[in-house]
Structures are given as structure tokens and as C-alpha cells.
A and B are shown apart, each in its own frame.
Chain A
Amino acid sequence: MDTSKNGNNNKVTIGSLLVALGIIYGDIGTSPLYVFKAIIGHRVINEQLVFGGISCVFWTLVFQTTFKYIWLTLRADNHGEGGIFSLYALVRRYGKNLVIPTILGATTLLADGIITPPISVASAIEGLGLVKGLEDIVVPGNFLTIGIVVTILSLLFFFQRFGTEAIGKLFGPIMTVWFAMLLVLGLNQMILHPEILKALNPYYAYDLLMYYPSGFWLLGAVFLCTTGAEALYSDLGHCGLKNIRLSWFFVKVSLVFAYLGQAAWLMHQGKELLEGRNPFFEIVPNWFLLPSIIIATLATIIASQALISGSYTLISEAINMNFWPRVLVRQPTESKGQIYIPSVNAILWFGCVLMMVYFKESGHMEAAYGFSITITMMMTTLLLSYFLLFKLKWNKIYVYLFLLVFSTIEISFFIANVAKIKERWMFLFFELFIFMVMYVWYYARFIHKQFVKYVDLGKYTQLFMELSNDKNIPPFSTHLIYLTKSSVRHEIDEKIIHSIFSKKPKRADVYWFLHINQTEEPYTLSYDVSELIDDKVIKVTINMGFKIMPRTELYFKRIVQDLVQRKELNLHTRPDGSTKYNNEPDYKFVVIHKFLSVENEFAIKDGLLLQVYFFLKRLGLSDEKAFGLDKSDVVVEQVPLVYQPVSNIQLVREEKTQAIH
């Protein structure tokens, strides 16, 4: 059965290929704007550097992008979905500590979202400086250039709230024009200097890394050509395996031609140094310069858009898998799967603008770019090895070989990127923030869970019957619904029993206990019902995939309708005679908010984790909003959460010594 989001997304049509081109290749597709500029930098242009550079780029695209991602990683689909959380969901049962690489990979992938948009857009806009008459106006790093980039990025983030349904249809055609442009521009130079093709020989890459002075550290610049590879996997669900693989042929040929064309130009341009020139725009004929800058700018905006949408998806998955506090998630359009997260939008916008203002020009950003994504790739490699071993049942020797080859490649890239550490302290701060949120949220919930007390419902059946039929107690509601953490049929949280029976008991005709079961499959949406007391106490488990929006109230309504239609439930009406005005039964949800009680005493680490957890919880969305409970009456109760009651109290009564006269 096809359980992917869109059963047709693996069909290959012209339309689906265009969608793939528009969504997933923005990042990797705009790399030719800055890769060669970064490789050459201020170095003397010679054959060893240029041939070695192009050879490294080509073989990186072959190994890292084509072999690891296109051929291998895309096989790790979780019911059609890709990305690091989908991969984690597939392999988490095989390794206890896989949560750390998952958090690290997701953190760095998200951090990439604050540098890819500014570096891409800045690279394109800086090209305007080559247009006749604009040489002295658009200068990399000047106020105007920074202003244009910040304005474009700000507008891009501002329009996120309206969705991209309308303009999204243009993404594919624009990116097709972009890749066609890369291909033609590159080919034009290659025809003039066909000898550049010999640079594809891997010997030149070896020669550069081994014998060029500080050649190994050039890997930091080479890596920029493959930074978008992770997006291929993250967007698997949007485009489908066949579409990605087929469109990659066209994209790869275009990219290789664009890099070869720049290399050919470098070998024949006649100057020793680059002197601030961008090889990409240098291979563009003068008459086509302005149109090429416009196309490049559009391509970089599309690349940024894809990254922003990818960040929303990542956080949405993180929320559903309990890696991130519940925050407001909107659906700006009717398009399935399109979401908008205001808080993530604000964080990314702030980060992108800060990066632009701090680094000022794309050349400076190149130093900070690449570090994060090398970590994501290393983490994907680790998780993928579990997938190959346990899911695809590969021979251990092949898995070790895979690990050895790609660990060597990625650790080399990582070391080369770490060397630029002084350039990206701000970046580290951002990554640390995201990592801490994910780490705290996951592990504090882990600790929290061990202190949630459950009770056996069987013990309370008689009490439920008595309370429900006790006419001396005023009715609280016809249907009373609680959310429970217990997945076991006849168990619920003790706090719920407290809420129903202690102090003022809550009399209802039907007591419902809803449990949301997060499944490892992305789009599951099913339920099962257990009637513990006929028509009186009902436990419902809703199985929800990690890509499904938790609209509990809507799902609950459908379940009730379904049960009534099947004649399994008598739809109780209000006992007070008010049904003659409106025959709908009344529902009341009780949401129990927990807070950390002052009664607790913790070890320093646990205490800190829980304090931060409850702080983040206050900043996030309330449970009633997070679970989509806003139509019915919702009663919120505050309950202290006592993890470890203080036991050693020595309270002494002071005896009065003087009598009162």
C-alpha cells in the first residue's frame, strides 16, 4: 500500500520533474555562483590549483552527491518520506544512543538555514557590480548591496505567511532556465578550451590535496559544491525517488559544465590573481550579464525558499517526535503539507539578516559556510549505516566499507571546515541554542516520563458507575474527555483520577480517555476503541504519524460519529432538558497543566534540565492549542508535579513557657 503523502509523487511526468527541479536543487544548483571564487581566493592561478579544484569538485559530486545521496541514501525512505528524522524513526530501535546524532544532524541542518539564503542572494546581487555603469554603485560589502540583500530576504520571509502555492508553479520553469543557462555558459567555454576535460582525471585532485601548499585546507571551499545534497534526501517526500534520480542527470551535467566552463576561463583569462572577480559572471557574455543576474537572483530566492520550507518541515517533525516544544504551526494555503511556523520564520529571518550585516559580503560568508552541513552529513552517514545493516541486511563488511569511505571523506571535509572556526563564532552560538532546545526537550521529557504515575482503571470501574449515576452531584458534562499518556488499554495517568474524584467529583455520562500514539510511519491516521465499561468509560488510542497535524478535537468528533453510526455508542444528550433547543451533546475536554512543584529535590543535571524544560514549555504553545482543542469547552487544571517528595523534615513545635494572663 502506498502510504506516502502523495501516492502519485513517484510517477515521472514533465510536471513532476519540474517540481523536483524547483524544490530540491536550489541549494546545490546555485553553488557555481561562489565555489570557484572560494577555491581560488587570493591564490595565484595556475594549472595545479585550477585542474585540482575542478577535479575535486567533480569527484565530490560523484561520490558525495551521486553515490551517497542519489544512489544510496534515497533508498532509506520511510513510507516515501526522507530526512534525518524519518531515518531516525526507521533505525531508532537498533541503537540506544542514536538520538544524539539525530539531534546533532537536525541542529546543523537547521543552522544551515541562516547562511544559505544570505550567501546565495548576496552572490547573485554582487554580480550587478559587473554591469556597465553600476561598477562603483554595487560594490560587495557596501551599504547599498547589503541593503538590497537584506530587503530581498526580509520580503521573502514576510511573504511566507501567505504560502507559496501561487508562485510555486514558477519555481520549476525558472530553475530549468537556470540549469539550461549553466549548461550553455559552461559549454561555451569548454568548446573554446576543450583541454579542460582532462581535469576530470582524479589524479589532479590527489595532486592538489597532497602537493599544493596547504592544499588539504582547500577542501573547505570544495565542499561548498555539495552543501545542498542533504536537501535531496529531506525533500524525498515532496518529489519521489524516480523524479529526483532522473532530474539529477540534467542537474549534474549542467553543474559539471558550469564548473568546467569557469575552470577553462580561469586557465585562459591571462591574469595571475582573481582580484575580486567572480569566475561565474566572467563567463557570461556582456550582452547577457543583466538577464543572467536576474535569473541568478531568482534561482537564489527559490533556493532560499526551499530551505525555509525545509526548516518548517524539520521543526514540524521535531515537534511530533518530541524534539522541540510545541509551537504555532499554520497552514497558509490549501496545499497539502505546506506549513508556516511563525516562530521559526522569525528566528531564521533574524539569523539571515544578522549574518548579512555581520559578514557584509558573500566572500566572507564562504568561510563560515559548510561547517554545519558536514556535521549533518556525518550524522546521516552514521544513521544510514544502521539502515544498511538492519533494514537492508547488508553484509557487515560492506557496511564497514561504506562507513570507512564516507567517514574518511566527510571527516576530511569537516576538518577543513573546522579550520575556519574563528570566522563563525556567531554560527556556533546559534547551533548551540538549537541543540540545547532539542536536547533539553528530549531528555527532560525522558526524565519526566519516569515520574508519571499510572493507575489501573479496573480498580475504579465501580467508582465510575457510582459517580456517573449519583444524582446528588451536579452534572459536570455529558461527555468528559481527558488526554492520557498511557498506551495500555486499561491504564490512565493518576492525575486524571485525581481530577475526576478528588475534591469536587466530576459527574459525566461518558468518560473518555484519549491517547495519542505517535507512530514511526509518517502519515498514519487511525484509531482503536476499548469500552472498559459499556457506554460509560471508553479509551481511544489515536495513531498519528509524525507528519500529521495533531487536530485532536476534529479526530475525536469523527470517532464519535463513527461509533454512533455503527451503533456502538449511544449519543447521550444533556440530562437537564435543554436538548429541545439543541440536540447536540455537550463535550468537555479537561487539560491538565503540570508545573514543577517546590517540593522537589534533584541532582544538579536533572534539576537544570527540568527547569529549562518547564521554561520552554511556558514559551511554547499551550496543550489545548497544540492538540487543536479550541471548539469545545476546555477546562484547564493546574497540577503540581512532584518528582521526589522531600522526606526528611524535622518540624519541631516550640512550647510556650509563659502563661497568658
Chain B
Amino acid sequence: METEFSEQFYEKYFNSSNRNVEITLRSERIVKGVICGFYRNDEEHIIKWHIVDVQDGLVLGSDAFGYSTGEIIQLEDIQHVAF
């Protein structure tokens, strides 16, 4: 996925009421959940997405010990997004 597309995804996702997302990776693996955070590079482009399972801690994206739940997905690994 191109960095420019990442911004479009960001706009669409956070303007949408449906927070569930299905991301197909280049490895054909499918990751489902909600996006609870993202990382930007020096040019302010989003380069990584943090996705957690709906049933996990939605507020903070981490467990009671402070460890991250879910998965961090690199932008270049994303093949397709549906939500």
C-alpha cells in the first residue's frame, strides 16, 4: 500500500461508524479487528497500523500488564482493506 493511500484509509476509517476492519496481507493472511492506533514517519505519513481484536481491550489496545494486544501491521504488507 502506498503512503498516500494510507491517508485516504485513515480519513475513511475514522469518519466511518463501522469500526470493524478486515485487512488482507500480502501473505494472504487476513487480520480482523478494529484499529486502535497508528505510527507516523518523519514526513507525517502513517507507516504502521495497530489492529486489535474487537473482544480485546478496545480503549487502550493493551492488556492489564501494559503489553500490546493485537498486531502491528506495516503499511507495505497490506494488500487489501475492507470495512
Contacts and interface: CB of A to CB of B under 8 A. Distances in A.
B14 A642 contact: no
A458 B14 contact: yes
Contact of A494 (B14, B37, B42, B44): B37
B59 interface: yes
Interface residues of A, number: 24
Given A487-B44, A645-B67, A453 B37 contact: yes
Interface in A471-527: 487-488, 490, 494, 497-498, 501-502
Interface stretch (A49-57, A185-193, A443-451): A443-451
Interface string A629-660: 00000000000101001000000000000000
Interface of A: 446, 449-456, 458-460, 463, 487-488, 490, 494, 497-498, 501-502, 640, 642, 645
A494 B61 contact: yes
B60 interface: yes
A455 B37 contact: yes
A452 B39 CA distance: 6
B5 interface: no
Contacts of B62: 498
A198 to B, nearest CB: 57
Given A450-B40, A454-B38, A459-B19, 10 more contacts: A450-B41, A452-B39, A453-B37, A454-B37, A454-B40, A455-B37, A463-B59, A494-B60, A498-B62, A502-B60
Given A463-B59, A498-B62, A451 B39 contact: yes
Nearest to B41: A450
A456 B60 contact: no
Nearest to A457: B14
A453 B60 contact: no
B42 A446 contact: yes
Nearest to B67: A645
Interface in B58-83: 59-62, 66-68
A34 to B, nearest CB: 45
A449 B60 contact: no
- The 9 A-B residue pairs with the shortest CB-CB distance, nearest first, are A453-B37, A456-B14, A455-B37, A494-B37, A450-B41, A454-B38, A453-B39, A446-B42, A498-B60
A43 B68 CA distance: 73
B16 to A, nearest CB: 11
B36 interface: yes
Contacts of A498: 60, 62, 66
B25 interface: no
Contacts of B66: 498, 502, 640
B40 A449 contact: yes
A640 B67 CA distance: 11
B37 A501 contact: no
B32 interface: no
B60 A501 contact: yes
A523 B41 CA distance: 27
B59 A501 contact: yes
Given A458-B14, A645-B68, A449 B41 contact: yes
B59 to A, nearest CB: 6
A501 B38 CA distance: 19
A498 B66 CA distance: 9
B21 interface: no
A453 B41 CA distance: 11
A327 to B, nearest CB: 24
A273 B14 CA distance: 82
B50 A453 contact: yes
A482 to B, nearest CB: 16
19 contacts: A449-B40, A450-B39, A452-B39, A453-B37, A453-B50, A454-B37, A455-B36, A455-B38, A459-B14, A459-B36, A460-B59, A463-B59, A494-B61, A497-B59, A498-B60, A498-B62, A502-B66, A642-B68, A645-B68
Interface string B16-59: 00010000000000000000111111101001101000000001
Nearest to A486: B40
A490 B66 CA distance: 24
B37 A450 contact: no
A495 to B, nearest CB: 10
Contacts of A501: 59-60
